[in-house]
Amino acid sequence: MDIISAIKTSKMRPYQYVIVFLCTFCSVIDGYDLIVMGYVLPNLPAGFTTADQKGYLISAGLIGMGVGAAILAPLADKIGRRPLIIMGLTVTTSFVAATALAPTAEAMMAVRFVTGMGVGAVMVSSIVLVQEFSPVSRRNFVIGVLGVGGPVGGMIAGFVGLSLTSTFSGAWQPLLWAGAGINVIGLVLVVFLLPESLSFLMSKRTPAAQRKIEKIIARVGITGVDPSAPAPSTGEAETGEGKQRLLGSTLRERSILLWIAYGGFLAAFYFVNTWTPQLISDASGDTQAGALVGTILSIGQIGGSVLFGFVGLKVLATRISWTALLVSVVSVVGFALLLGSTGALVVVVVLGIAIYVGAASFGAMAPGMYPPLARAKGYGMMLGMGRIGAIAAPIGAGYGLAVLAPTQLYLAASVPLLISAICCFRIWQITRDEFDRERASARPEATSVVAELES
């Protein structure tokens, strides 16, 4: 039996849990690097930046992440997942530290943009890598675990921000030095412990790749497999050299649907997350009410990721995606109609969980929709294209607020969510047979394979 089939059908082994931990730690780092600016801005000295520039300082990292995901992440299909994660962490370590040394707001924007590029490269490569080392039956759960990393990183940034700014009399640089230190820890762990993707190495078919495969097999602890046996094809999307193109005949429909779906999702996602506290405060006249709703949404991020992990043990991520998005549509509409009432707080709990289940489902389903040599490129392009919605929606909402009431803005936000749900439903239809075959091929062999490997 080939090693890819063995990993798909066997149980998780200790070294695979190490890989999950390392990739989750990378997610924690990404969360810290992106969120930390929210705690830096209030402590910048007077005259360092204007109110308008503060918005750009936050957006620079998000824009960089989109560029990194779309342009740098596809390199993982050419040079490997591990080298790109190392390169990305090297970039984030260097430029988080450089942010602390930025002499002007313009310089800070530039280094934040490059930091975001590193985050995008690490994010894509780590999610692809951890999926390739996970059994089919546990992939969705593993993505749920990774989904917790981002908000944990954000919470660490908040804790560090409160602690260090009070300790150092409001100085903002220690937040970034701490971030650089966390990046260094992640970089060292990855260099010494993280392996290359077996799917990537098998696609290269070189003597050097073969030697690495044998070492990784020994490290994982799987016996009774043939290191040179090719992995079986799991669907037509994995065959044919020309079909590695995202807009080639085989991958075109799923790629376009995925980009539209993720762009629509992120448009609503970032509108809800960035504007809800402000709109609730305006509608109620109570800033604490806005903070409360924002906190509920943040808690929903962790709850939604955990819920996705457990539901995903039994249900395809593609099916979870459109179901969660439809629940999100209903929740947004309900929240809009109940805005200002106690009922809105109940609905926002459902919205927070559903919208984050949807977020996790994209990370789980997108890599598996592409063959190994197009996997990072496919996932990276999804993230990159999605950033268009992420950047445009909050800005558009700012202009829309001048002519629309908050209720109307939320009703408008339900439209891209509905479009996203429709696209995900179609993705589920066209990929269902591929994912069902993969699960079915793992299920009947799982018992015998595990018994064989453990004997």
CB 227 within 8 A of CB 210: yes
Q: What is the dihedral of CA 295, 297, 302, 303, to 10 degrees?
A: 110
pLDDT number for residue 298: 67
Picking from 323, 264, 273, the residue whose alpha carbon sits closest to that of residue 298 is 273
Same domain (yes/no): 252, 186: no
CA 228 to the chain's CA centroid: 33
Same domain (yes/no): 121, 187: yes
pLDDT number for residue 96: 96
* Structure tokens that stand for 141 in this block: 């759960």
Same domain (yes/no): 171, 277: no
pLDDT number for residue 240: 44
Is 317 within the bounds of a domain?
Answer: yes
Domain that holds residue 35: 3-230
DSSP H stretches of helix in 194-245:
198-204, 207-220
Express each pLDDT in 161-187 by its tens digit: 778 877 887 788 999 999 999 999 999
* Structure tokens that stand for 128 in this block: 């692809």
Radius of gyration of the chain (CA): 22
Same domain (yes/no): 300, 220: no
Same domain (yes/no): 310, 188: no
Same domain (yes/no): 255, 145: no
The amino acid that residue 442 corresponds to is: A
Same domain (yes/no): 255, 134: no
The amino acid that residue 403 corresponds to is: V
CB 183 within 8 A of CB 191: no
What's the domain count of the chain? 2
What is the sign of the dihedral through the CA atoms of 446, 212, 365 and 249? negative
pLDDT number for residue 290: 64
CATH code: domain of residue 193: 1.20.1250.20
For the packed helices 173-193 and 14-40, what is the interaxial angle rounded to 10 degrees?
160
Is 328 within the bounds of a domain?
Answer: yes
CA 418 to the chain's CA centroid: 21
Same domain (yes/no): 225, 261: no
Same domain (yes/no): 218, 347: no
Q: What is the dihedral of CA 147, 152, 157, 158, to 10 degrees?
A: 120
Q: Which CA distances in Å does 20 have to 30, 144, 325, 378?
A: 15, 11, 27, 21
Q: Which residues of the chain have pLDDT under 70?
A: 231-244, 274, 277-278, 281-291, 294-295, 298, 394, 442-455
